[in-house]
Each structure stands twice: as C-alpha cells, then as structure tokens.
Structure 1
Amino acid sequence: MGVSTYTLADFTSPVGAARLFHALSIDSHNFLPKVVPHFVKSVEFVEGDSTVVGCVKIINFPDEAPYNYVKNRVDKIDSSKFYLKYTSIEGDIFPDTLESAVFENIYDSSGTGTHYKLVAHYHMKGDNSMDEDEITTAKQGIQLMFKAVEEYLIANPQLYA
C-alpha cells in the first residue's frame, strides 16, 4: 500500500485561527450544514463528540452531490495549537483504489488572521495512485467552501469570538 500526499488547501484568511478552528473543526457538525448546506447536508455522531479523539461521525452530502456520505474518525485534536487530524475510514466517495485518507488541518495564527493548511495522505490499495482530476476537483471544492465559511464569519464577528 502506497501513500500519496497532497496539500489540498494553503490559504491566508483575515479571520482568527481560534474562530476558524472552532467553526471548521469543533462545531462543524452544527456550523457547516447551516452555512454551506450545498456542501454538507448533515453530520451524525456514531461515537463520541467533536472534542474527543476517537470520535466517529458521518458527514452526509446534499442530494445533488455526486456522493452520499463519508465516515471520519478523529485521530488527534489539539485545541491549543488549532490542529485536527482525522481519517476518512468509509464512504462512497472512495474510488476502488483508495483504502483510506488521513487529513491534517493546521490553523496557524498569522497577524490578526490565519494561515490555513489542509494536507491529505491518501493510503492507496496496491500500486494505485490518486487521479489528478480528483485532486483538482477536491482543491476547488475546499476553496469554495472555505471562502463561504470565511465570508460568513466576517459577516458575523460575534460568532466563536
């Protein structure tokens, strides 16, 4: 099994790291379906909650999306460093060539804002590799979702303040 690593996001935002981390990592189950329902329909917890390692949640996508769901497990969370690592362990988003995907969300304070980075480690079946078109599509979707989240937080400065 090979591992392919990609940086899916590398953005600077005027929104503070603590606010972005809370919206996208801690309270994402409430925040994302409300703010970006065209990306996330709902989030259900299978085990634990969003603040504990080992938490397992199912993210359901909207009916018009090409996929139905993905199941994620939280592997590491460090609220003091605004860091979240989780593994996508199941879902119809996986091509037949992918075993699992590990994602690292890094929110570094940068002046009054944030430098956000999302790194994906794709654990492939056999000698397979990720399709470059799928990586490009993922990057575009993440950028659109991040911009929508950022705009919402800017428009609502009291949220997660």
Structure 2
Amino acid sequence: MGVITCTLADITSPVAPGRLFQALAIDNHNFMPKATPDYVKSVEFVEGDSTTVGCIKKMNFPDAAPFKYVKNRVDEIDEANYFLKYTTIEGDMFPDTVECAVYDNKFEASADGSRCTMVAHYHMKGDNVLSEADLENAKQGIQKMFKSAEDYLIANPQLYA
C-alpha cells in the first residue's frame, strides 16, 4: 500500500484562525449544514457525541451531489494550535483504489487574518495511484466549500467570536 501526499488547500482568509477552527473543525456538525448547504446536507455522530479524539462523524451530501456520504474519525485535536487530524474511513466519494485518507488541517494567524492548510495522505490499495484530475477535483471542492463557509462567517461576525 502506497501513500500519496498532496496539499489540497493553502488558503488565506480575513477570518481569525480561532473562528475558522471552531466552525470547520470542532463544531462542523452544526456549522456546515447551515453555512454550506450546497455541499453538506447534514452531519451526525456515529460514535461519540462531541468532537473528541476517536469520535466518528458521518457527513451527508445533498441529493444533487455526486456522492452520498463520508465517515470521518477524529485522530488528533490541538485546540491551542488550531490543528485537526482526521481519517476518512468510509464513503462513496473514493474510487475502489483508495483504502483511506488522512487529513491534516492547520489554521494559523497571518497578517491578513488566517492561513489555512489541508494536507491529504491518500492510502492506496496495492500499487494504485490517484489521477491528477481526481486530485484537482478534490482541491476545487475543498476551496469552494471553504469559500462558502468563510462568506457565512464574514456575514455573521458574532459566530464563534
């Protein structure tokens, strides 16, 4: 099993890193369906009842989306440094060639607000590889969803303040 590592997002935002971290990492089960309904229909806990290490959340996509769901397990949370690591353990968005994907999400202060990075580690079945088109589609999807979430936070400055 090989691992393909790539940066899916390296985005600057005027929103403070703490607000982004709370919205997109800790409280995403409440935030994402409200802020990004075109991308996330609902998020439910499969294991656990809060965002803690070991909890598993099922993210359901809208009916018009090409995929139905994905299950993510939280592997590491560092609230002081705005870092979240999670593994996608199940879902219909991966081709049969991917075993799982591990994501490192970091939200850092920058001169303009925040710098947000997401690094993906795709654990492949056998000697399979991901196509450049698949990686580009993943990058574009993450960036569109992030922009929608960012716009919602800017329009609602009281959230996670």
Scaled by the length of structure 1, what TM-score is found? 0.97
**Unaligned stretches of 5+ in structure 1?**
none
Q: For 1:149 and 1:91, how far apart are their aligned partners in 2?
A: 22
Match of 1:98 in 2: 98
Identity of aligned residues (%): 65
After TM superposition, list the pairs within 5 Å mapping 1:9-158 onto structure 2: 9-111=9-111, 113-158=113-158
What root-mean-square deviation, in Å, do the aligned CA atoms of Structure 1 and Structure 2 show? 0.9
Structure 1 residue 112, shift from structure 2 partner: 5.4
Q: How many residues align?
A: 161
CA separation in 1, counterparts of 2:97 and 2:88?
A: 14
Name the amino acid aligned to 2:56.
V
- Structure 2 runs not aligned, ≥5 long: none
1 CA distance for matches of 2:90 and 2:121? 15
User: Within 2, Cα distance between the matches of 1:111 and 1:75?
Assistant: 30
Partner AA of 2:86 in structure 1? Y
SS of residue paired to 2:154:
helix
3-state SS, counterpart of residue 29 of structure 1: helix
Q: Contact 2:12 / 2:112 at 8 angstroms: preserved in 1?
A: no
Cα distance per residue 1:39-74 (max 9 Å; x no partner)? 000011011134310000111111111111111100
Taking structure 2 as the reference length, what is the TM-score of the superposition?
A: 0.97
Once the 2 structures are TM-superposed, how far is the Cα of residue 5 of structure 1 from its aligned partner? 0.3
